[in-house]
Amino acid sequence: MALTFFWRCEGATLDHPGDDFSVGDITANLVTATIGTGAARIGTNGLDCPTASNSAQFDSSGTVLVDRTEGAIGFWVRANTSWPVANQWIAWADDGTGQNYVRIGSAGSGNVRLQIGTATGPTNISLNTTGGPITTGNWFFIIGRWNHTANSRAIEVYDNAMSLDAGSTEDLITSWTLPTADLADTSRPRFGDLGGTDDDLNLDNIFIADAYDEPIEDNALIESYTQYGVSAGSGKLRPQAML
């Protein structure tokens, strides 16, 4: 398995080794965000980000959690009032300069965007879903994937029953420029309502992997890292032909 991070959002300190998992930092720095029962999709608690710039931040200055070359990030999210406007971010990892990054957020109109940036340009290489699958008040499981060697990127959106939305997309052709520095910073990666508008988001079960094809979706519903790849997964294999 290529998982580097799994957080149940049950508490700010990860239960590692145990029900949570991390190859690096195990303590979330909660910036206005809270952990609470009303934000839960799996288990007892979830990450509650009711206003702008609410987030949980992790320290990647020592051990990098998000690989700039290849990886995947997945999480449950619910927008309680409105889906954010375009370029409001929910998951973000960079090198501390804001120029080299991988981030996942809104493409507007209920769609999702994976965006990769590099200090050398071109910046803001984006891949978007279509058809506006995200609706207010409902849980969705989102995965962003990238592999620079293979020129691959994907955005997958699953509904609450783990059915893959038709608007999900994969690009196996378009080349993109690799970020020039490791995504290592004291406050990255971060997860939550990362934009300047009050979008009132809840997040749960956050995954990071260093492999494009890591079957995060099969494990979206687990309640413990001990179940990862063993049982209690969604049972939904990633249908490459549909992306």
181 by Cβ neighbours in 10 Å (0-12 / 13-18 / 19+) ranks as middle
Q: Where are the beta strands (DSSP E) in the chain?
A: 3-7, 21-22, 29-31, 34-36, 46-49, 54-57, 70-79, 89-94, 101-108, 111-117, 125-128, 139-147, 152-158, 169-171, 190-193, 201-209
The pLDDT value recorded for residue 199 is 85
Tell me: domain 3-214, CATH 2.60.120.200, correct? yes
The pLDDT value recorded for residue 243 is 45
The pLDDT value recorded for residue 123 is 73
Q: Where are the beta strands (DSSP E) in 40-81?
A: 46-49, 54-57, 70-79
The pLDDT value recorded for residue 95 is 95
- In the predicted model, residues of the chain with pLDDT beneath 70 are 1, 231-243
Q: pTM value?
A: 0.94
The pLDDT value recorded for residue 29 is 98
96 by Cβ neighbours in 10 Å (0-12 / 13-18 / 19+) ranks as middle
Average pLDDT of the chain is 93
Domains of the chain, residue spans = 3-214
Residue 39 Cα to chain centre, angstroms: 16
The pLDDT value recorded for residue 1 is 52
- Model confidence pLDDT, tens digit, residues 38-61: 999 999 999 999 999 999 999 999
The pLDDT value recorded for residue 206 is 98
Listed residue (65, 110, 70) closest to 91, CA to CA: 65
The pLDDT value recorded for residue 53 is 92
* Amino acid in position 171: D
